[in-house]
């Protein structure tokens, strides 16, 4: 629970009541904002990567599930995948011939929905 400290407030004073009200209000807003209801699960995308340095496996990196802009989840996920891949390629060139980068492989991609094993 949030507590807004005010050195002038008393346990039963007006400022203390205001602090309790603000804490309840902010808690309610944050719970509402975290709700995953209100838009289809098909608008959620998860970014995955292969394991470094083998290039095998399927490791979740991030889930894109912004409810207020659900139409941007897929493009944002794809942009993140492209940035991760570009960073990997750049690091591989900078570390050429150095273990474990010598034969390192990686791939980054997006899948529709939340992470599933």
- pLDDT tens track for 62-79: 999 988 888 899 999 999
Q: Are 96 and 69 in the same domain?
A: yes
55 and 106 co-located in one domain: yes
- Are 49 and 83 part of one and the same domain? yes
Work out the average pLDDT over 29-50.
Answer: 68
Which of the two residues, 9 and 26, has the higher pLDDT score?
26
Q: How many domains does the chain have?
A: 2
Q: Determine the 3-state secondary structure of 109 from DSSP.
A: strand
Instruction: Looking at the structure, tell me whether residues 56 and 94 fall in a common domain.
Output: yes
Whether residue 117 contacts residue 51, with contact meaning beta carbons closer than 8 Å, is answered with: no
Instruction: Give 107's pLDDT tier (boundaries 50, 70, 90).
Output: very high
Model-wide pTM > 0.75: no
Q: Are residues 72 and 99 in the same domain?
A: yes
* In-domain check, residue 117: no
pLDDT recorded at residue 37: 52
Pick the more confident residue, 31 or 64: 64
């Amino acid at each position: 629970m949030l507590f807004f400290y005010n050195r002038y407030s008393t346990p039963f004073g007006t400022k203390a009541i205001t602090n309790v009200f603000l804490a309840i209000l902010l808690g309610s807003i944050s719970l509402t904002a975290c709700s995953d209801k209100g838009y289809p699960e098909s608008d959620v995308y998860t970014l995955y990567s292969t394991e470094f340095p083998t290039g095998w496996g399927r490791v979740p990196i991030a889930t894109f599930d912004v409810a207020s802009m659900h139409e941007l989840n897929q493009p944002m996920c794809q942009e993140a995948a492209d940035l991760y891949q570009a960073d990997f390629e750049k690091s591989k060139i900078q570390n050429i011939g150095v273990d474990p980068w010598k034969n390192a492989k990686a791939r980054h991609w997006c899948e529709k929905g939340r992470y599933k094993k």
